[in-house]
């Protein structure tokens, strides 16, 4: 971590504390996609400890198999253009799924060579489930109210909406 106290910014230790304690996942990857830093927010969201993740491919830990090609494409795009922002589904250690809002940014060294990719991931599962439920209710309200039998609808994660 760079100590920015000389430049009038926050002391490096405070920056490190903010990064470490962020409720969102803050994951630092090398250009090959290997985890080099994993904060407590990532541990909470994904269930893996830092020790379990360092040196592992992020995609092999949390990306569902059916999304591996898409994630590889997004990572290559991040390396090419310097940043990406998207919403996707990831896998928790226990096998459950979480919706995430993901922002990736390339970090270069003094020579302009890619040194790291910072991936910031916010769990938006609750927001997504609520939004899906409202959309379904709006779309199917009249139909559901006219039916004599009950109907259960589930989203792609299997959660009843």
Of the candidates 3, 53, 11, which has an alpha carbon nearest to the alpha carbon of residue 28?
53
Helix (H/G/I), strand (E/B), else coil: 139: helix
Output the pTM of the full model: 0.76
The pLDDT tens digits of the residues spanning 31-75 come to: 999 999 999 999 999 999 999 999 999 999 999 999 999 999 999
Q: Taking all residues of the chain, what is their mean pLDDT, rounded to a whole number?
A: 89
Tell me how far apart the alpha carbons of residues 115 and 63 are, in angstroms, rounded to a whole number.
22
Of the candidates 79, 87, 124, 72, which has an alpha carbon nearest to the alpha carbon of residue 105?
79
For the chain, the structural domain boundaries read 5-123, 125-161
CATH of domain 5-123: 3.30.450.20
pLDDT of residue 19: 87
With contact defined as beta carbons under 8 Å apart, do 117 and 29 qualify?
A: yes
Backbone angles phi and psi of 149, in degrees to 5: -105, 155
Range in 26-40, 59-73, 105-119, 129-143 the model is least confident about? 129-143
């Amino acid at each position: 971590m760079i100590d920015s106290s000389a430049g009038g910014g926050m002391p490096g230790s405070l920056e490190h504390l903010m990064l470490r304690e962020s409720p969102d996942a803050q994951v630092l990857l090398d250009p090959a996609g290997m985890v080099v830093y994993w904060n407590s927010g990532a541990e909470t969201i994904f269930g893996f400890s830092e020790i379990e993740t360092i040196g592992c491919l992020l995609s092999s830990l949390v990306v569902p198999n059916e999304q591996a090609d898409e994630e590889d494409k997004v990572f290559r795009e991040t390396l090419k253009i310097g940043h990406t922002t998207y919403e996707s589904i990831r896998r928790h250690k226990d096998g459950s799924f979480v919706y995430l809002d993901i922002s990736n940014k390339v970090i270069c060294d003094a020579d302009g060579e890619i040194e790291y990719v910072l991936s910031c991931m916010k769990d938006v599962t609750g927001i997504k489930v609520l939004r899906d439920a409202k959309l379904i209710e709006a779309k199917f309200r009249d139909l559901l109210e006219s039916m004599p039998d009950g109907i259960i609808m589930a989203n792609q994660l299997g959660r009843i909406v």
